[in-house]
Amino acid sequence: MSDKGLVRAYQPAFWLLQRIADASLIFFAHYVACALYPQSWSEKNTIATAVAIIAFHLVAESTGVYQSWRGAPLRSQANSVLTAWAFVVPVFLFFAFATQQSEAYSRIITTLWFLITPVSLVGLRWVERRTLSVLRSHGRNCRKVAILGATQIGMRLADRIEKDSSLGLKLEFIFDERSPDRLEPVKASFKLRQGHLDELVTMAKRGALDDIYIALPLRAERRISDLIKRLADTTVNVHYAPDFFTFDVLHSRWTQLGDFPVVSMLDSPFRGPAAVLKRIEDIVLGSIILALISIPMLFIGIVVKLSSPGPVFFRQKRYGLNGKEIGVLKFRSMSCCEDGPNVAQAKRNDPRVTRFGAFLRRTSLDELPQFLNVLLGEMSIVGPRPHAVAHNEYYRPLIYGYMLRHKVKPGITGWAQVNGWRGETDTVDKMEKRVEHDLAYINNWNLWWDLQIIIMTMLGRKKSLNAY
């Protein structure tokens, strides 16, 4: 093996070192938490750390933390790590309760430990990626690949490989046996080779390629099946980039129905560990925020009651997860409480909005009671904003994919809102932009993005645009 595979040659040792590094970081984070409080290290801390390390590694193996992440974005790898650590928290709490030692562990130190550890684990992945990126930009740890199929998706794969040296992939050529008039335009740097598939199989057997990406259309099923059978006699890694991923899909992923592999074309990202992680986020952050805002909510409620006649809270029917109706709580900001088949959106200088209500709407304080919806499991802190049922029924036939917003729980804030797409949608174009941002969030969700959106909601300037 050439020295160009410097890291790959020692990959088993690399994965072992990564497990040792993770265990060391979990211990180090606990030690730092004790030093910050401060508290001297004791035997109970050693036992707690050992429990956390064992639990993390058991979960990490099943959630794919230690699989190869070559080509995957950091947010996907970070999400996998955070999911594994999220399972450690209840395991540790159960251990402390079962051994009747819960009072022996400082809540402050434990909280610091639980916060420092995931940041450290993700930080380690970032450092690893930066190191590998530098090595790969100098030709180290690279894999020689070929793409079969001068198709649209084949060109997209080639562009990605060429532009992102951090992938560690060296595109040798694009192979296609069809006549030139049937091929997509191929850049000269991609080295188009035309010939019979025998030539490609021969190169694979000779060890000239590490990976082959098949980018042929689904109608070429017979050719694809034949090639895979022939490549089974080689050690090359074969990947298929099906053209149905060029469709307008939502969170597409491979899954299984019994023994049958299937592709989910329109699906929610919040299944399995991701759903647990999202719920833990909502309960933990929701409880903390609700405790902090309870006194301000009391004063707001008093002012709402004294400033205009009517109830303090307004509960409006809106679509929640999977299109089921939920009652969303808000502080009343209008002189009326509309909730029927025809609900007019609030406009600039709307006469229905009270003077104090205008302030609540501009600052989004009227949304604070929705943290109760979050704790009840009807909403999330971050997600697509729920619309009145009447507005949903109006827009769903006008905007393609509108109802896909309801593949996840609605949120108090969202990616559309922090980008200024909130408030009145007096044109279909404005609602389309809101839906576009909502679907982008669903397709690319990760925990760090949620935290970013929460911070942008509190500090961002765009959050008050169109709010009246």
Model pLDDT for residues 337-390, shown as the tens digit of each residue: 555 555 555 556 566 778 888 888 888 888 899 999 999 999 999 999 988 888
Residue with tokens 């990202």: 269
Residue 5 above 50 pLDDT?
Answer: no
Q: What percent of the chain has pLDDT over 70?
A: 84
Pick from 72, 71, 69, 57: nearest CA to 25: 57
Note the pLDDT tens digit of each residue in 54-105. Answer: 999 888 887 778 877 666 777 778 888 888 888 888 888 888 878 777 777 8
Three-state DSSP at 8 gives helix
Please, what is the average pLDDT of the chain?
Answer: 81
* CA–CA separation, 394 and 390 (whole Å): 6
CB 355 within 8 A of CB 335: no
Does residue 444 surpass a pLDDT of 50? yes
* Residue owning tokens 């969700």: 445
Q: Rounded distance, CA 207 to CA 266, Å?
A: 39
Q: Residues 152-174: what's their mean pLDDT? A: 81
User: Is the model more confident about 29 or about 393?
Assistant: 29
- Name the DSSP letter for residue 237: E
Instruction: Judge contact between 408 and 348, C-beta under 8 A.
Output: no
Region 11-35: what's the mean pLDDT?
85
Single-letter code of the amino acid located at 57 = H
d(CA 191, CA 204): 17
Rounded Cα gap, residues 164 and 159, in angstroms: 8
pLDDT at 343: 55
Is 408's pLDDT higher than 80? yes
Query: Is there a contact between 107 and 93 (Cβ–Cβ < 8 Å)?
Result: no
Nearest C-alpha neighbor of 453 from the set 361, 372, 401, 382? 382
Number of H helices, E strands in the chain: 14, 11
pLDDT, average across residues 417-430: 80
Positions of E strands within 365-410: 380-382
271 has pLDDT over 90: no
Predicted confidence (pLDDT) per residue in 188-232, tens digit: 777 777 778 888 888 888 888 888 888 888 788 888 888 888 888
